[in-house]
């Protein structure tokens, strides 16, 4: 525990301490961002019926049709109309309308010549301008999703695209994993929570609290409480004790976690009977990150107070716990070439704010930004990703492949190579 732990070993330690949360049924309207607890099979086809892909005329294709063939238009079918049957002639039809039983081909309006109309202007007889292909411009039932087809696997996080398909196949509810509850305590008498407040000498705005609250909600946690406490064990201990007694799955603190005179979080955790699994990483920023277990299976994360250290700790280590608890696979980064040479000290993994660069010939690369110090937040305005520089390397040349992760967790990003 006293030796700094490697990044991947720390992730493995966290995952080993996670338990899969139970499943619950939720309505689709409440399912965005939730993780499927079971595969989803389509109860009905999508589209649910054969329908027209163009405005025009539906007919029954026969080998006798030819350019110039004339047909009577004996019915009309609009989107939303129900079942109709027709064995011969033509039916005026709108895009998306159900194809009448017995008809199998749609001829667009522009490929027909109207020969006569009724008193209200509706076509009553048409001539084909060209020979149609059998079955053209018909969207077949089940051509998008067949009934019984597995649409989504367990462990998929539901985004709006997934929900669009689930609504289309007729689902009302879906079985998902319960979200892990998370409580966050920011420590520091210097912190001011009110946005825009006047700051006394020595005070700073609490940027970590709101940022982490939103970031971890995006990761899939249910953030049930966020508090700010002063630099004293007496202020923090009862808050953490209450959360542990309530069985909160993820308990997070920021600040007071290193080796300084006012870094009291490790002592508070010890007083609560926490089992510290690691308290130092071979990583920067975020070296003094602490991870412990306590209570009824609660996971405790002590994040450093510097904003980038705190952001990285949440982005990679707390996100890993949320993924494991909700049945999502471990995150898999993409490998991208560096846009320029980078030098670093050996024995430390650097997690770097990075932007993506697209060359004139369409090649994507990752550019490590200036301003990598853990107190600098302004580079996040340009950053779109985190670039991982391996422990062993000291000089990474332009073109060298490095692991790249999306800046924020949760979304099914094109920079996350793992299943959604």
For residue 65, what pLDDT is reported? 95
DSSP 201-265: TT-EE--HHHHHHHHHHHHT-EEEEEEEE-S-HHHHHHHHHHHHHTT-SEEEEESS-SSSTT--H
CATH class of 334-406: mainly beta
* Distance separating the N- and C-terminal Cα atoms of the chain: 34
Asked if the model's pLDDT at residue 85 lies above 90, the reply is: no
The pLDDT of residue 413: 53
pLDDT above 70: percentage of residues in the chain: 97
Check whether 1 has a pLDDT greater than 60. Answer: no
- For 267-278, the pLDDT digits (tens) are 999 999 999 999
Token pair 């991982």 is at which residue?
Answer: 388
What is the pLDDT at residue 216?
98
Could you tell me if 268 and 301 are in contact, meaning their C-beta atoms sit under 8 angstroms apart? Answer: no
Beta bridge partners of 25: 175
What pLDDT score does 82 carry? 85
What secondary structure letter does DSSP report for 122?
-
Question: What pLDDT does residue 3 have?
Answer: 87
pLDDT (tens digit per residue) in 230-274: 999 999 999 999 999 999 999 999 999 997 777 999 999 999 999
- In CATH terms, the fold of domain 7-21+179-326 is Molybdenum Cofactor Biosythetic Enzyme; Chain A (3.40.980)
pLDDT of residue 302: 98
Q: Is 249 exposed, middle or buried (0-12, 13-18, 19+ CB in 10 A)?
A: buried
Q: What is the pLDDT of residues 12-30, one digit of tens each?
A: 999 999 999 999 999 999 9
pLDDT for residue 376? 96
Architecture of domain 51-139: Beta Complex (2.170)
Spatial separation of the C-alpha atoms in residues 171 and 41, rounded to whole Å: 10
Torsion of CA 65, 71, 73, 75, to 10 degrees: -50
Tell me the C-alpha distance between 400 and 388, whole Å: 12
From the CB of residue 163, how many other CB atoms can be counted at a distance below 10 Å?
18
Which pLDDT score, from 0 to 100, does residue 418 have? Answer: 53
d(CA 168, CA 47): 8
Residue 123 has pLDDT above 80, yes or no: yes
Where does the pLDDT of residue 91 fall: very low under 50, low under 70, confident under 90, or very high at 90 and above?
very high
Rounded to whole angstroms, the Cα distance separating 295 from 240 reads: 10
Reported as a pLDDT band with limits 50, 70 and 90, residue 227 is very high
- Say if residues 297 and 247 touch (Cβ distance below 8 Å): yes
Q: How far apart are CA 208 and CA 308, in angstroms?
A: 9
Task: Identify which of 286, 285, 283 has the alpha carbon closest to the alpha carbon of residue 373.
Answer: 285
Asked whether 198 and 71 are in contact (CB, 8 A), the reply is no
Report pLDDT digits (tens) over 361-418.
999 999 999 999 999 999 999 999 999 999 999 999 999 999 999 999 965 555 555 5
Tokens 């329908």 locate to 51
Q: Higher pLDDT residue, 3 or 287?
A: 287
Q: How confident is the model at residue 42 (pLDDT cuts 50, 70, 90)?
A: very high
Each domain of the chain, given as residue ranges in start order, spans: 7-21+179-326, 51-139, 334-406
Whether the pLDDT of residue 314 is over 90: the answer is yes
């Amino acid at each position: 525990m006293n030796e700094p732990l490697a990044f991947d070993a720390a992730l493995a330690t966290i995952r080993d301490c996670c338990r899969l949360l139970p499943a619950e049924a939720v309505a689709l309207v409440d399912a965005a961002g939730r993780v499927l607890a079971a595969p989803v099979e389509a109860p009905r086809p999508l589209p649910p019926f054969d329908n027209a892909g163009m405005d025009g005329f539906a007919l029954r294709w026969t080998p006798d049709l030819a350019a110039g063939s004339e047909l009577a238009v004996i019915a009309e079918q609009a989107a939303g109309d129900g079942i109709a049957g027709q064995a011969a002639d033509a039916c005026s039809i709108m895009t998306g309308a159900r194809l009448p039983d017995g008809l199998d081909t749609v001829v667009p309006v522009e490929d027909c010549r109207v020969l006569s109309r009724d008193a209200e202007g509706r076509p009553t007889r048409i001539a084909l301008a060209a020979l149609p292909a059998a079955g053209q411009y018909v969207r077949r039932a089940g051509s998008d999703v067949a009934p019984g087809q597995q649409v989504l696997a367990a462990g998929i996080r539901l985004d709006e695209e997934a929900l669009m398909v689930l609504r289309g196949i007729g689902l009302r509810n879906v079985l998902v994993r319960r979200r892990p509850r998370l409580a966050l305590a920011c420590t520091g008498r210097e912190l001011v929570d009110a946005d825009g407040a006047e700051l006394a000498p020595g005070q700073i705005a609490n940027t970590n609290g709101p940022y982490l609250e939103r970031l971890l909600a995006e990761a899939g946690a249910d953030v049930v409480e966020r508090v700010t406490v002063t630099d004293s064990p007496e202020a923090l201990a009862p808050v953490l004790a209450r959360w542990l007694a309530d069985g909160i799955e993820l308990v997070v603190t920021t600040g007071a976690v290193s080796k300084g005179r006012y870094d009291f979080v490790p002592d508070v955790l010890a007083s609560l009977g926490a089992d510290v699994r690691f308290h130092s990483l071979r990583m920067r920023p975020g070296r003094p990150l602490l991870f412990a277990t306590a209570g009824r299976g609660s996971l405790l994360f002590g994040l450093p107070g510097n904003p980038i250290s705190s952001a990285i700790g949440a982005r990679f280590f707390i996100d890993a716990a949320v993924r494991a608890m909700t049945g999502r696979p471990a995150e898999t980064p993409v490998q991208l070439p560096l846009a320029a040479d980078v030098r670093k000290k050996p024995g430390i993994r650097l997690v770097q704010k990075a932007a993506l660069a697209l060359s004139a010939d369409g090649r994507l690369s990752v550019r490590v930004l200036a301003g990598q110090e853990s107190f600098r937040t302004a580079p996040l305005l340009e950053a779109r990703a985190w670039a991982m520089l391996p422990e062993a390397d000291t000089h990474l040349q332009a073109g060298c492949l490095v692991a790249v992760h999306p800046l924020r967790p949760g979304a099914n990003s094109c920079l996350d190579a793992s299943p959604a």
